[in-house]
Amino acid sequence: MQSSIGKSLRIFIFLLIMFSMVTINVTAEENLLNSEQEKTFNSENIDSTHPQSSQNENGNIGVNDQLGVTSNINADALFSPRLSAPGTDNAYYYAANPFYQSGYGMPNCTCYAWGRAYELLGGRPNLSTGNANSFWGTNINRGAFASGSSPRLGAIACWGNDYGHVAVVEKIEGNVVTISESSWGGFLFRTSTYTIGSENSRSPGGFQGYIYLGDFSITPPDTNPPTISNIQITDVNAEGFTVRCNVSDNVGVTRVNYATWTDANGQDELNFVDGWLSGGDSSFRVLYSDHKNERGSYKVDIRAYDAAGNCVGPITTGTTVDDIPPTIENVEVIDQSPYGYQIKCKVADNNGINRVQFPTWTSANGQDDINPNWPADGTCSGIIEGDTVTYTVKDSEHRYERGEYITHIYAYDTFGNQKVYEIKQNVINKVNIVSEETLNNHRYILFDDILNWKEAEAKAEEQGGTLVTIASQDEQSLVERLIGVGQRYQYFMGGTDENQEGTFRWVTGDLIGLAKWGSGEPNNSGGSENYLQIGKTGFWNDIPVTSLSSGYIVEIDRDKLQIDSFKTSDNTSPYVNRNIELTAAVTGGVGPIQYKFYYKLGDASTVIQDYSETNTAIFKPATAGTYTLYVDAKDSEGRTATRSIPDYVIQQTINISYETHIQNIGWEEDAGYGWKSNGETSGTSGVGYRLEGIKINLDTQGYDVGVSYQTHIENIGWEADTDRGWKSNGVMSGTEGLGYRLE
């Protein structure tokens, strides 16, 4: 009994001692936890003065904690996947967890992920203590941990939609990832799987990437940044420019970022964009439109990132975008004709011309005939040869309209700068013979002027004939030869069914016999096609009277009187009060032939020279304006013919007057002598007074004549060689009151 009692007593004492040791240990650890709980957390940044803790295998906090874990570690031997929920006695997830301390404990994805990071690192992680959608951005801003798009053991997976979501990678088996996670107001803990690349399809979406807490693999972490080389600026044009470079890295480059801004207004339009990446090549297109279309100096910072999160850069490059527009000079209109006109000019730019566009329209009906795609359409582009550019305006591209045409010349350089120059030009009918042939004593004359059918018939009758009529195959063949020479696609003939629909007659009154109608013609399309035309192919067609796309062919009996030509001696720049010779030539008729010359200005008609056998007359206009000149011819048997020159513009004469400043007299106008002109003497004669200055007035009549003048002054020299410069429009050249003579 005594031995049994003694044995029991010894066991009791041993247990009592062990219980006391356990109690002391737990009490000490509880005090440490309480100390942790009393510390203050900033919701966005971990307090660097807060003592960090390590934890033993039971989840109890020890005193050998490290401060501010901000770098990756190699802890392959320490990593053990968590596949079950932590207990409430695990301080990483509960007592020492800032989310738990703030009333946002599990179930909560942020509380769990933060605690799991604490557990893996053995110290308080430098992660966000805000919502899940702030984990990714906070880590990027702090630069605490590497990050990327590929999963790694122990990495925190981040999703950014709504309040976001975070989870921890526990296993990677092939392309299957196992994560551990918690959910606010939902499950306390669970594991789930997904395949690599499908992260964005998981709720809530907006996958951002993985925050790498450390390299838990056997391989040491990569710390070598990528390299950037062979940086080039290419494809500079009106839209922008391209930055190209080569990149390389031992584990692979994942992205190349380009930060771009201009020197203008600081960095108010700075933007960061990941560029195109394929293999070792990367590029980024800089658009001026993304930078307020500013010109001048552009800067680009290039950064390259690898799969381990290492970065190189910024490496700065850039270029200067030209803001000086091209120049347009020596503009002239050449080859003006009834078909249109050709423009010739000189265009230059310090960085080269990209293109020169010639949008054109007529004054009639606004801009209804302008090409809407003119800025880039090649049909509106001029032909560039060196610094000379030419462009042909065709009336066929403007509904064959007559009258004023407006062309704007747009010169673009390689940077998109532009210069504009305006031209206005009249396109009128010239009544010039394009080609003619003779058959059976009849003349067949082809004109390319644009008229409607009735106007063309009137012109034919004015010349002593009619629009062509065809009564034989020989005539058809002759007409086909004629229109092969012309530049129009169709030509009017003298046939119509306006008096009886479907019954076509020639203007001579004869029924049309021989015909060469096109397929399905005549069809009276629209109910108003009553007039006849022939196309380039030789086939006939009926058209409406309003059609304005055809030339016309005149047939004249050679026995009839006809005015072949009516010309003026000045077709370029006629002015008032100058003699202009008018000349007419006729064929046919029975002599002698008499001629009458007259003109119309407005509604008034004035005879220049009445009927005489002289085929010339002198026209001396006294008034500026737009005239129509006429000549009538008649033969001895009473045959008559008329021809006109329309739109003959007479310009007002530019007048010049002048006065001088005379020694001892002063300005002539002030002395009562007045301004001089037309060769009158300005100054004195035989008195010995010197001239000191001169004024010249130009009555330009609204024209820009570009006249200036200067004098050579005693003791001064030529004015243009001093700051006095050239003078114009009545400004004094010389001196007054100094006695310096003009030399």
Q: What is residue 373's predicted lDDT score, i.e. its pLDDT? A: 94
Q: Among residues 605, 491, 577, 581, which one has the least CA distance to residue 540?
A: 491
Whether the pLDDT of residue 550 is over 70: the answer is yes
For residue range 638-657, list pLDDT tens digits in order. 888 999 999 999 988 777 88
Confidence class for position 51, pLDDT limits 50, 70, 90: very low
What 3-state class would DSSP assign to 425? Answer: strand
* pLDDT interval class at 370 (50, 70, 90): very high
**pLDDT value of position 740:** 81
Characterize the bridge pairing of strands 550-557 and 442-447.
antiparallel
Contact indicator for 420, 410 with CB cutoff of 8 Å: yes
Q: What integer pLDDT is reported at residue 78 of this predicted model?
A: 57
Taking CA atoms, 390 is separated from 335, 341, 347, 556, in Å, by 11, 11, 10, 40
Three-class secondary structure of residue 24 per DSSP: helix
Q: What is the pLDDT of residue 655?
A: 72
What is the predicted pLDDT for the residue at 451? Answer: 93
Q: Are residues 138 and 127 in contact, defined by beta-carbon separation less than 8 angstroms?
A: yes
Whether residue 104 has pLDDT greater than 60: yes
pLDDT: is 326 or 726 the higher one? 326
Q: What is the dihedral of CA 724, 725, 731, 737, to 10 degrees?
A: 30
Residue 64 has pLDDT above 50, yes or no: no
DSSP states along 325-352: PPEEEEEEEEEEETTEEEEEEEEE-TT-
Give Cβ neighbours of residue 360 (< 8 Å, ≥ 6 apart): 370, 371, 380, 393, 397, 398, 405, 406, 407, 408
Q: What 3-state class would DSSP assign to 474? A: helix
pLDDT, mean over the chain = 84
Band of the pLDDT at 100, cuts 50, 70, 90? very high
Q: Is the pLDDT of residue 47 over 70?
A: no
Alpha carbon of 514 to those of 470, 473, 521, 532, 535: distances in Å? 7, 8, 14, 14, 16
With the C-alpha atoms ordered 199, 205, 208, 211, is the resulting torsion angle positive or negative?
Answer: negative
pLDDT at residue 39, rounded to an integer:
29
- Average pLDDT estimate for 160-172: 94
- Quick one: average pLDDT of 594-610? 95
> What pLDDT is attached to residue 700?
63
Give the pLDDT confidence score for residue 44 in this predicted structure. Answer: 33
344 band by pLDDT with thresholds 50, 70 and 90: very high
Phi, psi of 33, rounded to the nearest 5 degrees: -60, -45
Q: What is the pLDDT, as a whole number, of residue 183?
A: 95
Mean pLDDT of 683-691: 78
pLDDT at 151: 95
Position 177 confidence tier, pLDDT thresholds 50, 70, 90: very high
In the chain, what percentage of residues exceed pLDDT 90? 58
pLDDT tens-place string over residues 253-310: 999 999 999 988 888 888 899 999 998 999 999 999 899 888 888 999 999 999 888 9
pLDDT score, position 315: 92
CA distances from 15 to 19, 531, 560 (A): 6, 130, 150
The pLDDT confidence band at residue 10, using thresholds 50, 70 and 90, is very low
> pLDDT: is 147 or 639 the higher one?
147
- pLDDT of 560 > 80? The answer is no
428-478 pLDDT per residue, tens:
888 889 999 999 889 999 999 999 999 999 999 988 899 999 999 999 999
Q: How confident is the model at residue 158 (pLDDT cuts 50, 70, 90)?
A: very high
Give residues with Cβ within 8 angstroms of 488, minimum separation 6: 448, 450, 549, 550, 551
Whether residue 610 is predicted with pLDDT greater than 60 in this model: the reply is yes
pLDDT at 722: 87
- When pLDDT is cut at 50, 70 and 90, the band that residue 58 belongs to is very low
Model confidence at 544, in pLDDT bands (50, 70, 90)?
very high
Query: For residue 702, what pLDDT is reported?
Result: 60
Question: How many Cβ atoms from other residues are within 10 Å of residue 282's Cβ?
Answer: 24
The model's confidence at residue 328, banded by pLDDT at 50, 70 and 90, is very high
- pLDDT grade, residue 711 (50/70/90)? confident
* Per-residue CA distances from 258 to 295, 407, 460 (Å): 19, 43, 73
pLDDT at 76 over 80: no
Is residue 691 scored above 50 in pLDDT? yes
Where residue 667 falls among pLDDT bands split at 50, 70, 90? confident
Phi–psi pair at 666, nearest 5 degrees:
95, -160
Q: How confident is the model at residue 62 (pLDDT cuts 50, 70, 90)?
A: very low
Report the distance separating Cα 114 and Cα 207, nearest Å. 18
Highest mean pLDDT (candidates 65-69, 480-484, 561-565):
480-484
